Chain A
Amino acid sequence: MSLDNATVAKIARLARLKMTEPELAPMAGQLNNILDFVAQLNEVNVDGVEPMTSVVAMKLRRRADVVSDGGDPAKVTANAPQGESGYFTVPKVIE
């Protein structure tokens, strides 16, 4: 299976990466090389094998359902490229 330019454009859209028309073909070539490389896995029989979910057998811990942090909008927004009155601002979404 080989990715064409249209599929690459679709993936770029899903990944929210702007890609110009001339960038598509080289990217397709590189992605196809990587996909050819990983296709080796088709040789492996994984019947009845559980997918790994954690490298160390463990139960996910639960913490007490209490507020442990927060209430500091100034810290949270300190690195915002654009903000106002303790909020992040973005281009207008609703017309």
Chain B
Amino acid sequence: MRIEDFTIASARDGLAKGDFTARELTAAALDGMAAAKPLNAMITETPDHALKMADAADISRKAGQGGALNGIPLVIKDLFATEGVLTTAASHILDGFKPTYESTVTRNLWDAGAVMLGKTNLDEFAMGSSNETSYYGPVKNPWRGKGDVDLVPGGSSGGSAASVAAGFALGATGTDTGGSIRQPASVTGIVGVKPTYGRCSRWGTVAFASSLDQAGAFARTVRDSAIVLGAMAGFDPKDSTSVEVPVPDYEKGIDAGVKGLRIGIPREYRVDNMPAEIEKLWSQGIAWLKDGGAEIVDISLPHTKYALPTYYIVAPAECSSNLARYDGVRYGLRVPGKDLTDMYESTRAAGFGAEVKRRIMIGTYVLSAGYYDAYYLKAQKVRTLILRDFEAAFGKVDAILTPTAPSAAFPIGATSDPVEMYMNDVFTVPTSLAGLPGLSLPGGLSADGLPLGLQVIGKAFDEPTLFRVAEAMERAAAFTARPTRWWEGR
């Protein structure tokens, strides 16, 4: 059996019917993971652990037990603390860190019977849009354009997206602070969903920007992403921002279609110099929804252009505060110094990469005496305006459709200017600032044969409508393209 022939839904059916065991499925996934080494998608592979978990899943199935993901092989972004398993955040500063606790999100997945294949590569501390800031090196996108050039898988959850796109993981966890699930999903041709802020617990997830960070799921189909998210989500008293709302069955009603739904098209997302193929994809998405019986509504989100600058104040400010904990005392790297301060400064200088340092510096500056009001407070006020834009729009529509990213995957090393790199998140950041759920699904291919994603944005805690719209679009798009398996046999 070849793992890439399965979806979570089809593997679940096969396991339930007894066509194969969780051990057989996991062994196939481990073969796929071993073959995909040239992608550099994994920081830590845990094959022995995976087989043990698969055996446990088989035993619980025989006993008539087992949760929604019983025996399903997944990969975990290396930002989630996993007990006894190296957790790096793709940073040198967390060298050797093996948590003595399990994050709530991964705990929920294991309770549902999921199997961990390993921990995936990412941008260092989830700061990046191309997976190039990782201490463990860049991840290669399974998709290749003309001339067999290595492309980025997007970021920050690049390893998770590449694993699912390559087909060896049936699903993956990611985290999304400004687009880190949706943008990689878009450029690797898979589905990525970031739920409403507060839906998934942040406990045990390495913090970047606490008011924005939210865990979510990758999978190859909308239904699969709904299954994974349903298992991850839930109230957690250990996270003070976790929201106590019951998690509905996300598969229920997913087939209802879009007839009668009102879908908003925000005019401000028609940005200057938007590539024609992105514009075309968006129009195609609108046509699919119309054909399905949805009403298309022109809406305005007037503060859209201020979302990125707002984000690049709020996120670095919270990052500088959160990353203050890495001081060489309690875990990870320590570089000796002549005194305590010298030890802190030397450890942090050696342990953090360039992008993380830039963000710590910006964050420290905008929070420093005399600048707090001009930058951070101002940005938090603009953020209120961005949320109000969405609230006004959602008075008129049930969901919003936009492109996910301004371009297809680009070559590794193509973008060296930090501000230019930030532009990758132009369509995803507003949703993050407003805490709303967003989902990217593959809509079609670029002229170079690379996947392009469409983003559906929902009301707070209305993930069911998000999945319903996305499922209808997925059927209309009938996206069956797959990357050529160039990495096999290398």
Contact = CB atoms under 8 A, between A and B. Distances in A.
B317 to A, nearest CB: 11
Interface string B244-286: 1000000000000000000000000000000000000000000
A57 B370 CA distance: 29
A12 B346 CA distance: 12
Contacts of A40: 305-306, 309
Interface string B345-371: 110110010000110111011001000
A81 B365 CA distance: 30
A8 to B, nearest CB: 7
Contacts of B336: 91
B357 A17 contact: yes
Given A80-B331, A82-B334, A37 B382 contact: no
Contact of A91 (B337, B368, B375, B380): B337
A17 B334 contact: no
Contacts of B345: 16-18
A34 B237 contact: no
A81 B361 contact: no
A46 B361 contact: no
Interface residues of A, number: 49
Given A15-B361, A30-B358, A41 B378 contact: yes
Interface of B: 96-101, 196-198, 211, 237, 240-241, 243-244, 303, 305-306, 308-310, 312-313, 320, 324, 327-334, 336-346, 348-349, 352, 357-358, 360-362, 364-365, 368, 375, 377-385, 387, 417-419, 422, 433-435, 460
Contact of B358 (A31, A43, A88): A31
A39 B306 CA distance: 10
Given A33-B419, A79-B98, A93-B340, A19 B349 contact: yes
Given A40-B305, A55-B434, 20 more contacts: A8-B361, A15-B360, A18-B348, A27-B358, A30-B418, A34-B312, A34-B362, A34-B419, A37-B308, A38-B375, A41-B313, A44-B303, A52-B383, A56-B460, A79-B331, A88-B330, A91-B337, A91-B340, A91-B342, A93-B339
A38 B313 contact: yes
Contacts of B338: 91
